[in-house]
Amino acid sequence: MNPCQFCGAPATVHLTDIVNKKKREMHLCESCAREQNLIPDAPSPQLNLPALLQLLMSQLAPSPSEADADDLDPASLTCPDCGLKYAQFRADGRLGCPEDYDVFLPVLMPILERVHRGLQHRGKTPKAVQEQMAKNEIADLKAQLTDAIAIEDYEEAARLRDRIRGKEAAG
């Protein structure tokens, strides 16, 4: 680690300047860099995540014209375990406890459906799970084959045998 060129403290700001094919490096500590006006005194504005989430939630929540007359009022929802109110959830964008998912379910489902374009996971399945599912399917087909042979349904048995061979060859 390089020392600060002004005070000798550990350098945290490293500047490289190339002029006329000549490279010049400066290594400064944070306080010396502030004195040289190389970094601002105040931190830059931070992203206001709760406000952003509230804005998104308000755009995704059903409008009063979309909501049915028999729907319950979201403002009346409060978690019995942690005491989180729906308005507080909308402001913070965070749920307080696992019970909140059940309490706010009527309000969360339409939002999740719009955000994810559905309510069932359609992502990738891990390879180990795919392999286990294939093994289970082959075992099920073998059980069906045994049953077909037992009742002497040889056409069905041949069809099942071919499906098993195809699955075993693919896996």
Tokens coding 110: 């339409």
Mean pLDDT to the nearest integer, 149-155: 93
- In the chain, the number of structural domains is 3
Which of the two residues, 126 and 41, has the higher pLDDT score? 126
**Cα distance between residue 48 and residue 32, in whole Å:** 30
CA 53, 54, 55, 58 dihedral sign is positive
Does a structural domain hold residue 157?
Answer: yes
22 in the same domain as 54: no
53 in the same domain as 34: no
pLDDT of 114-147, one tens digit each? 888 787 777 788 888 888 999 999 999 999 999 9
19 in the same domain as 3: yes
112 in the same domain as 55: yes
pLDDT of amino acid 98: 87
- Judged by DSSP in three states, 23 sits in strand
136 in the same domain as 102: no
Sequence length of the chain is 171
Does a structural domain hold residue 122?
Answer: no
**Cα distance between residue 109 and residue 122, in whole Å:** 16
Does a structural domain hold residue 150?
Answer: yes
105 in the same domain as 59: yes
Does a structural domain hold residue 14?
Answer: yes
* Residues 55, 58, 64: CA angle, nearest 5 degrees: 160
163 in the same domain as 107: no
Does a structural domain hold residue 10?
Answer: yes
**Cα distance between residue 110 and residue 104, in whole Å:** 11
53 in the same domain as 36: no
pLDDT of amino acid 67: 47
Range of the domain at 34: 1-41
35 in the same domain as 8: yes
Average pLDDT, the chain: 82
Does a structural domain hold residue 121?
Answer: no
pLDDT of 94-105, one tens digit each? 888 888 888 888
159 in the same domain as 112: no
Residue 155 CB-half CA count within 13 A: 0
Task: Say if strands 22-28 and 13-19 run parallel, antiparallel, or are unpaired.
Answer: antiparallel
What are 23's strand-pairing partners?
Answer: 18
Query: By C-alpha distance, which of 103, 7, 115 is closest to 53?
Result: 115
55 in the same domain as 25: no
pLDDT of amino acid 65: 44
pTM, to two decimals = 0.34
